Structure 1
Amino acid sequence: MKRFVGLLFSLLLAVGVLGGCGQAEAPTETQKNQEKTAETAFPVSVKDASGKEIKIEKEPKRIVSLMPSNTEITYALGLGKKVVGVTDLDTYPKEVEKVEKIGSMEFNTEKIISLKPDLVLAHASSMQNAKEGLNQLRDAGITVVIVNDATSFEETYQSIKLIGKATGAKQAATDLVKSMKSDLAAIQKTAEGISAEQQKKVFVQVSPAPEIFTTGKGTFMHEMLEVIHAKNAASAQKGWSKMTEEAIVKLNPDVIITTTGAASVEEIKKRSGWSTVNAIKNKQVFNVDQDLVSRPGPRLIKGVEELAKTIYPDIYKK
């Protein structure tokens, strides 16, 4: 909220509407310095996920995002009006519904070029599976910045700072990261009151039966559970791992979290042979918003909060 108020205040100053009598005032020395800084911020060079130094000559005015997390970061930095293209998978914020769609993992190169962007925010996952398409964009004279594949909070902060620098929103990125860290610290502070005896063992289902996948070490969900002092039942696994029903039953989790919808909750409750699992016996099977706990962007902290309130409702009041 403080960041929003600060940005709004700066905007009002820029258009000269702050004044007791409603008349525009002459630019202050501070305003002049801010405008001068904006004018001299470019060109800038950023080292993206490819390891290359990318030089951006001018402040980007038209941006295409090839990953939902990039889009959410861009909007959170106050650059929504510059976004002219997003993927078919983008769902947040609601403004993206009106933005031109350019495909998903297999993006439409011709469509992107037709939008005349001066910056494309790609993703590390596209360096191999969309290498040809990215080269076509570069050949068309479009600057492409590849954002790192973030699998932790720290790597997410890096993504935000990279996008902030590339778009001329460096200060906004710094403020956003600071705000996220502050909110996360508050959640961690509350978790300090959870004793070892109170800690719950949680199994997370990220893909439904018959091929059940869970989240092991080296994933956001694992880190999120650690933050709120919950035990990941699948902590012996690494990354996104496939598990059998028999193996999950043996883990006997206290809580089961699914990210695959309300229907999955009902399906899990009715699974044959699962009646002895603590989570089933105590009706502790819940669904959480997949986007909040998997997209490496500004809303990750909300994801942690949702998990906390779901797993420890008496400690984290809803």
Structure 2
Amino acid sequence: MRTPTTGLLLSTLLVVAAVAGALPGAVAAAGVGTGVESPAANPTTPNVAVQAGTCEFPVSATDATGTEVAVEERPERVTTLSPSAAQTMWEVGGESQVVGVTRFASYLDGAESKANVSGSGQAAISVEKVVGTEPDLVLAPNVVPNQTVTQLRDAGLTVVKFEAATSVEDVREKTTLVGELTGNCEGAAQANAWMMQNVAAAENATAGVEPVRAINALGGGFVAGDETFVDAMLAVSGATNVAAEANVTGFAQLSDETVASLDPEYVVVTYPGAVDLSAQPWADTPAGQNNATVTVDSTYLGQPAPRSVVFGVRNLTEAFHPDAYGEAQFVSRSEVEANASTGNATDENASAGDESTDANATSTTVASDSTASEDGDGGAEVTTGTATPTETGDETSSTSPGFGAGVAALALLASALLAVRRD
């Protein structure tokens, strides 16, 4: 029986998991006031020009609390309350402005020099630590309670709270807004061009193939359904989210019988061994019969931001459709920047050959003799047998891929659910 205490416990744990990036899409920092759109509703082509917004101050925006927030001048000190917001600041070229991050952003190069504003225990954010960074601007994800936002504003801070990001378009709009609020419009335009060109490349490459049936298993019986960032990533990568197909919206806990009836061909997880495909409910599904899991670093599935979209989509596309992946015209960030400097949109025939190995964060377990791609983008490692995480260099913290705080939060959530059932 679900009691008021149970509801409070689950709500608290879900917030911790979301801020950690364990619940993809819930960590969202989307464009303020944006709705939910499917990437398919906005067809793109690889030839996307870099179009910077106008960085003029003062600038204002109405945030998720319904408050019109004004930024009078370019902020010199920015504190981020989610890893997706921090990643976005890095991608738009605003790393030097950032003075505070959460512990879940520790994978970002240079994050160790920033103040850690995470709270202790189950507290995702420490108001005192945030105030102590003396920020000109605070970027808050949608999972930060309005009460916390109010506390920060009462302390004299300028805070923008973002809506949930559940589509690539949400991420694009959020990136544009972050660029405008922080005076990094050109960097935001380049980050968006890089992201959208790679999204278009994946969509074009998989347009003529049959979508695979996939599900994102989060642990404790939870799955990601429609209106989530994961659902958008799966769609772009040539997969049908069977949970969304079954009218699951957001994140939901499903029974074993329901999971088995969804008949997934692939199970997407964020760490090896997250599910036992030899046991029920997976054993009788195509995924269980073929031992087909796709392991993607939780950074890419749980943090709606440009880098996560690019590398997450590449890894998923390679795992689901290796032949189409080989034909995809992905582009590197350096190519986008080079073309922007000459005033040209990126050539759709450009390759991602000089992309850093940041994307190397996926392993799959499928019957295949294929090896990891050698074009420098660090795509999925396709092996037979038990999946092992690939090295991701400075893209992760000191923990192994997928074994960060987000997974720990989900483990805590699952344990709490079991305890609740026994009460």
Q: TM over 0.5: same fold?
A: yes
More RCO (CA 8 Å, sep 6+): 2
> Normalised by the size of structure 2, how large is the TM-score?
0.59
The match for 1:177 is 192
Question: Whole-Å Cα distance in 2 between the matches of residues 245 and 288 of structure 1?
Answer: 23
Deviation at 1:51, TM superposition (A): 2.7
Contact 2:136/2:158 (<8 A) preserved = yes
The match for 1:24 is none
Per the alignment, do residues 135 and 272 of structure 1 end up closer, same or farther by CA in structure 2, a change over 3 Å counting? closer
Question: Whole-Å Cα distance in 2 between the matches of residues 293 and 154 of structure 1?
Answer: 16
Contact 1:72/1:92 (<8 A) preserved = no
The match for 1:126 is 144
Deviation at 1:50, TM superposition (A): 2.3
The match for 1:248 is 259
Q: Residue type of the partner of 1:278?
A: P
Question: Whole-Å Cα distance in 1 between the matches of residues 232 and 290 of structure 2?
Answer: 25
Task: Give the match's secondary structure for 1:181.
Answer: helix
Deviation at 1:275, TM superposition (A): 3.4
CA-to-aligned-CA distance 1:97-155 (integer Å, 9 cap, x gap): 33211115542222222221111111222243xx1x33332233221111222111111
Per the alignment, do residues 48 and 170 of structure 1 end up closer, same or farther by CA in structure 2, a change over 3 Å counting? farther
Task: Give the match's secondary structure for 1:51.
Answer: coil
Contact 1:48/1:162 (<8 A) preserved = no
The match for 2:293 is 285
Structure 2 residue aligned with 1:203, among 211, 215, 225? Answer: 215
After the TM superposition, which of the residue ranges 183-192 and 173-182 deviates more from structure 2? Answer: 173-182
Query: In terms of Rg, which structure is larger?
Result: 1
Question: Whole-Å Cα distance in 2 between the matches of residues 273 and 139 of structure 1?
Answer: 50
Deviation at 1:71, TM superposition (A): 0.5
Contact 2:222/2:251 (<8 A) preserved = yes
Structure 2 residue aligned with 1:151, among 166, 175, 185? Answer: 166
Structure 2 residue aligned with 1:214, among 201, 218, 223? Answer: 223
- Give aligned-pair identity as a percent: 31
Task: Give the match's secondary structure for 1:145.
Answer: strand
Q: Which runs of 5+ in 2 are unaligned?
A: 1-53, 327-372, 374-423
Contact 2:92/2:186 (<8 A) preserved = no
Q: Which runs of 5+ in 1 are unaligned?
A: 1-36
CA-to-aligned-CA distance 1:204-240 (integer Å, 9 cap, x gap): 212x2xx211111111222222223322222211111
The match for 1:45 is 60
* Higher helix content, 1 or 2: 1
Task: Give the match's secondary structure for 2:106.
Answer: coil
Question: Whole-Å Cα distance in 2 between the matches of residues 79 and 272 of structure 1?
Answer: 47
Task: Give the match's secondary structure for 1:55.
Answer: strand
The match for 2:84 is 69
Q: Residue type of the partner of 1:288?
A: V
Question: Whole-Å Cα distance in 2 between the matches of residues 275 and 135 of structure 1?
Answer: 49
Question: Whole-Å Cα distance in 2 between the matches of residues 203 and 114 of structure 1?
Answer: 42
1:269 aligns with 2:281: no
Structure 2 residue aligned with 1:107, among 119, 125, 128? Answer: 125
CA-to-aligned-CA distance 1:223-268 (integer Å, 9 cap, x gap): 2222233222222111112112222222222212112x1122xx42
Question: What is the aligned residue count?
Answer: 268
Question: Whole-Å Cα distance in 2 between the matches of residues 136 and 200 of structure 1?
Answer: 46
Deviation at 1:300, TM superposition (A): 1.3
Question: Whole-Å Cα distance in 1 between the matches of residues 197 and 81 of structure 2?
Answer: 29
Deviation at 1:178, TM superposition (A): 2.3
Compute the RMSD of aligned alpha carbons.
Answer: 2.0
1:239 aligns with 2:250: yes
Per the alignment, do residues 155 and 115 of structure 1 end up closer, same or farther by CA in structure 2, a change over 3 Å counting? same
The match for 1:230 is 239
1:97 aligns with 2:112: yes
Structure 2 residue aligned with 1:88, among 98, 103, 107? Answer: 103
1:140 aligns with 2:155: yes
Per the alignment, do residues 249 and 169 of structure 1 end up closer, same or farther by CA in structure 2, a change over 3 Å counting? same
Q: Residue type of the partner of 1:228?
A: S
Contact 1:147/1:162 (<8 A) preserved = no
Task: Give the match's secondary structure for 1:141.
Answer: coil
The match for 1:54 is 69
